[in-house]
Chain A
Amino acid sequence: GAGVSQSPRYKVAKRGQDVALRCDPISGHVSLFWYQQALGQGPEFLTYFQNEAQLDKSGLPSDRFFAERPEGSVSTLKIQRTQQEDSAVYLCASSLGASGESYEQYFGPGTRLTVT
């Protein structure tokens, strides 16, 4: 069956460019998470959506990062004026239930962003 998909898989941006990363969660999944994984590190939480509502954006590193999920399905993570320290793999995950309960999270393949 269809899992979580992300696009593009790889993105090279010049410093200062804006980028948009897309996540298609599993159909019907209520929760959607974005994580950032630097090289050699574990992922770190960025933001969480319950349906279309962004309930937690405490992990977004700066106001250059913006995420949306307008119809409660597809989500886009946008990074404005990219910096070299933004280079990382951006992972999207979805789960069936709301964050208030512990559900298994299903991860996408990630988008590897390289800022030159």
Chain B
Amino acid sequence: KNEVEQSPQNLTAQEGEFITINCSYSVGISALHWLQQHPGGGIVSLFMLSSGKKKHGRLIATINIQEKHSSLHITASHPRDSAVYICAVRIVMYSGGGADGLTFGKGTHLIIQP
């Protein structure tokens, strides 16, 4: 079982719809990242969260530490939002420190149709 699970794997929606992508994790973490990856392109960091909620433009990210769950919302979706959205966590090690690298989910492939 992956330590980071995302749902849905694929999502197709119409322009203007409200989009929600979910991320659940099974380990203790010090931070959770939401990332965006366009086809053939690099990865762009959208948010880094350790608690609560963050908003940037039409994007909102929330995290519930107790439930080990995070959501990424896109309001008023647009075709340019079409991309793969990846959830990644920094795992807390038994020593109390964080893992050196991030552990990633498999991504959610989002297509927004005009």
Contact = CB atoms under 8 A, between A and B. Distances in A.
Interface stretch (B11-19, B59-67, B70-78, B94-102): B94-102
Contact of B45 (A33, A35, A56, A107): A107
A99 B42 contact: no
B103 A45 contact: yes
Contacts, number: 66
B41 A109 contact: yes
Interface in B62-114: 86, 88, 90, 97-107
A42 B99 CA distance: 17
B97 A42 contact: no
A106 B42 CA distance: 10
Contact of A42 (B41, B100, B107): B107
B7 interface: no
B75 to A, nearest CB: 23
A91 B42 contact: yes
B25 to A, nearest CB: 13
Nearest to B106: A42
B27 interface: no
Nearest to B41: A109
Interface string A22-66: 000000000001010000111111111000000110010000000
B104 A99 contact: no
A41 B103 contact: no
Nearest to B46: A104
Contacts of B86: 42-43
A22 to B, nearest CB: 15
Contacts of A4: 42
A102 B98 contact: yes
Given A102-B48, A102-B50, A105-B33, A45 B42 contact: no
B54 to A, nearest CB: 12
Contacts of A109: 41-42
Given A33-B101, A43-B43, 4 more contacts: A42-B105, A45-B101, A56-B100, A104-B48
Interface of A: 4, 33, 35, 40-48, 55-56, 59, 91, 93, 99-102, 104-110
